[in-house]
Structure 1
Amino acid sequence: MVLLYAFYAVVSINCAYFFLFSKFSFLKPTPKKSIPNFPVSIIVCAKNEAENLKKNIQLWLEQDYPKFDLILINDASIDETLEVMESFSETDPRIQIVNVRNNEAFWANKKYALTLGIKRSKNTHLLFTDADCRPASQHWVSEMVSHFSEEKQLVLGYGGYEKQKGFLNKIIRFETLMTAIQYFSYAEVGNAYMGVGRNLAYTSELYYANNGYMSHIKVPSGDDDLFVNEAATSENTSICFNPESFTYSAPKRTWKSWRRQKKRHYTTAKLYKFKHRFLLGLFYVSNLLFWILAICVLVSDSWKIGLGLILFRFIIQYLVIGKAAKKLNEADIIPLIAFYELFLIFNQMSIFISNRSEKNATWK
């Protein structure tokens, strides 16, 4: 009976999190606002991204928004990144180039490069994306910045990955989906803890009020999630999940490169506020315990009750996660949600163990 009670408690915790996630999954879109007319700066930091810039600069410039400039930051690239930026700037005055050279104090530090780009902007409203990200539509800028108001100074968007063949692609997109569901849901209940630099907007006032990235300037990653974790409040944060506001990046093509990326990202989680570390950790642990205890219960005398709890948990999971997957255009992931979850649990465990014995890497 002790095993059954423990399993019941774990399933209850799982379902409590799914209830939290339902705040986003079943959230109705806000009514369409008129297109703002305040000037916006799109800020892109690029390190050895010449090929991606050739494809994406034109897409950023084609945005259907009345007033914006494009600040391109060359972060000490050794390829033709700067030359590509300059070739586009020759034909479009909206482009401003910030050429960053490495220095001893901030060697290979993306936050230092971004700081220089933000200081270059004369506009209050800033929209960030990465060099390898393409906007889903010409209304990306207008959709994201329409969520700004006198009170809302921070807008969280969705940065997805392109759909390709293969199991790795499904895992990458499932992990990205689950991350988005969590940060959107926490933000919706007034407890925002992160955003993604592939699609993030905030005001320069908020940036300077929080001393930029100074509290974590030496941490290689975290220009997005650590800044949001520090600056977000229940009053100043909004979310944008209109499909026209999404951005898409090319996913990693090898397991090694994806795991390296995840290992870098996970190193910032230990710097989150304690309440966020606790809640995120409890979610992971409760999922891990669910799978372990589910096996134990199914081979016990209480297997019928255990099977009922398992089915109940899966039904709730598929309803909530499936609804969010459709909202974020990731519906093809739905059939194997449980399998992807199990795979990610053990992959995340191996990354966590590996990270404890390695030093942080630079952002590129």
Structure 2
Amino acid sequence: MQFFDTFLTCYGWEGIALAGAMLVLFGVQLYYYIFVYGRIPGYKNNRRAAVLEADPQVSVVVPLFSEDYSFIEERLPLILAQNYPDFEVVIVYVGHDTDFYEDLVRLKQSFPQIVTTKIHLDPRFPISRKMALNVGIKSAHYECMVFTSTDACPQTDRWLALMAKGFTRGEIVVGYCGVERKKGFSNYMMRTWRMMHSADWIARAVQRRPYRGTLHNFGFTKRLYFGANGFSHLNMNIGEDDLFMQKVMTRDNVSVILSPRATLREKTWGGMGWWMGQLRYFGSAFRFYPQAVKNFIQWELGSRALFFATVLCALAVMPFEYKLAALALLLVRYVLVAVQVRRLARRLGERGIAGCYFIYDLLSPLWALALCILLVRRDDRVWR
């Protein structure tokens, strides 16, 4: 009580309120980085009860929406070279180039595990990724299916084996996909944004409260898909990895595969403008998320921004010793965050993230605010 009176005399009610706000926000940040994100590095999926005795046969389904020879020549061979005994690759070509499709069909002569199917592209009737995946699911010969994209590249030949093993402990398998590493500040921000926003849904999944995966690296069984009558939100071109997953995910049917050997990398096709366009497009599904999930995601960003604001306020108007205490609190938080981010990056197979993380740490709330403003305007690409 004497300490409180002394503090009140020195700094007034304003100083007490500011210190209380800083400590509360600091506590929220500690909760996220220690008890939420901190569970990811040590997670072991083999602690879940087994539902299959042996690793299953797997169909890898890949929708192909253009005459993408770079995929055929560079990324498809990495999928075909996976070290797994029994799998097929189902390629769903959406287009009207007969010569290209014949080239795809001829690949089966060299790679018998390839299955090809075609959807004729008519400009009057646009084909969504969900429709292509639906055709691929019906064309797949195996019960367990893993889905990826033409932009994603396996980092090792163990990717499919690890994803397939996930089906021994759940009907849904989710894995991580990062962004390809290039030089430059924009690429660093893209890679860090992807890792930390993936950490949100991965953390919930390891806590048995899953709400999504990533469209580049997830899977489920045919029984689950047809039992749910196919994809949901058919009036949208997006949502197969989040809105549909929220419909079918439970506490006990999701396997989370976390290993650098099971990581994919997404190819980037531009800079920050392209990236913001991608975030706006796929972020249009966020408004349909459960409120509890929205709160979970927004509390970390909001508490971080407010914590920085309270520290800045203390540095601007409070006495010298108060400023030192605020800076010490800021430093303790950053050391804790840097340690946890380094552990997280190591588990997901990311490199070069932790060293400059303070830049992302400061700028990402502003970035998120800009994205929220962009999402106010309807994105016509999303709706059918």
| Corresponding position of 1:71 | 90
1:338 aligns to what? 358
Is 1:7 aligned to residue 27 of structure 2? no
The reply on whether 1:352 has 2:357 as its aligned counterpart is no
> In 2, Cα distance between the equivalents of 1:205 and 1:66?
23
Alignment of 1:170 with 2:188, yes or no, is: yes
Residue segments in structure 2 that go unaligned for 5+ positions in a row: 1-15
Describe how 1:1-364 pairs up with structure 2 within 5 A. Answer: 1-18=16-33, 19-27=35-43, 30=46, 36-48=54-66, 49-76=68-95, 82-102=101-121, 107-149=126-168, 152-213=170-231, 215-301=232-318, 302-362=322-382
CA contact (8 A) 2:45 2:256 kept: no
Structure 1 residues 124 and 206, CA gap change in structure 2 (3 angstroms): same
Deviation (angstroms), 1:294: 2.1
The one-letter code of the counterpart of 1:310 is L
AA aligned opposite 1:88: L
Structure 1 residue runs of 5 or longer lacking an equivalent are none
Q: 1:42 to 1:35 in 2, by over 3 A?
A: farther
User: Any idea what the Cα deviations from partners look like across 1:221-248, whole Å, max 9, x if unmatched?
Assistant: 2211222222211101111112221112
Contact 2:55 2:164 in 1 (8 A): no
- Aligned residue identity for 2:64: A
Contact 1:40/1:67 (CA < 8 Å) preserved in 2?
Answer: yes
Tell me the amino acid that sits aligned with residue 353 of structure 1.
I
Q: Partner letter of residue 313 of structure 1?
A: R
Partners of 1:50 and 1:79 in 2: CA distance: 14
When residues 277 and 293 of structure 1 are mapped into structure 2, their CA distance, relative to the original with a 3 A threshold, is: same
The one-letter code matched in structure 1 to 2:297 is: L
1:12-38 CA distance string (max 9 Å, x none): 11111112111103335759x999442
Tell me the distance in 2 between the aligned counterparts of 1:11 and 1:129: 38
Please give the root-mean-square deviation of Cα atoms over the aligned residues, in Å.
Answer: 2.4
How far did 1:271 drift? 1.4
- How many residue pairs get aligned? The number is 360
CA drift of 1:114 comes to: 0.7
Task: Tell me, yes or no, if the aligned pair for 1:226 and 1:268 is still in contact at 8 Å.
Answer: yes
2:353 is paired with a residue whose SS is: helix
Deviation string, structure 1 residues 67-105 (Cα, Å, up to 9, x no partner): 111100112366975354234234333211121234689
CA contact (8 A) 1:168 1:253 kept: no
Decide whether the 8 Å contact of 1:25 with 1:321 is kept in 2. no
TM-score by length of structure 2 reads 0.87
Q: Quote how far apart the aligned CAs of 1:175 are.
A: 0.8
Identical pairs, percent: 23
Aligned residues of 1:140 and 1:244 also touching (Cα < 8 A) = yes
Q: SS of the counterpart of 2:148?
A: strand
Quote the Cα distance in structure 1 between the aligned partners of 2:273 and 2:209. Answer: 33
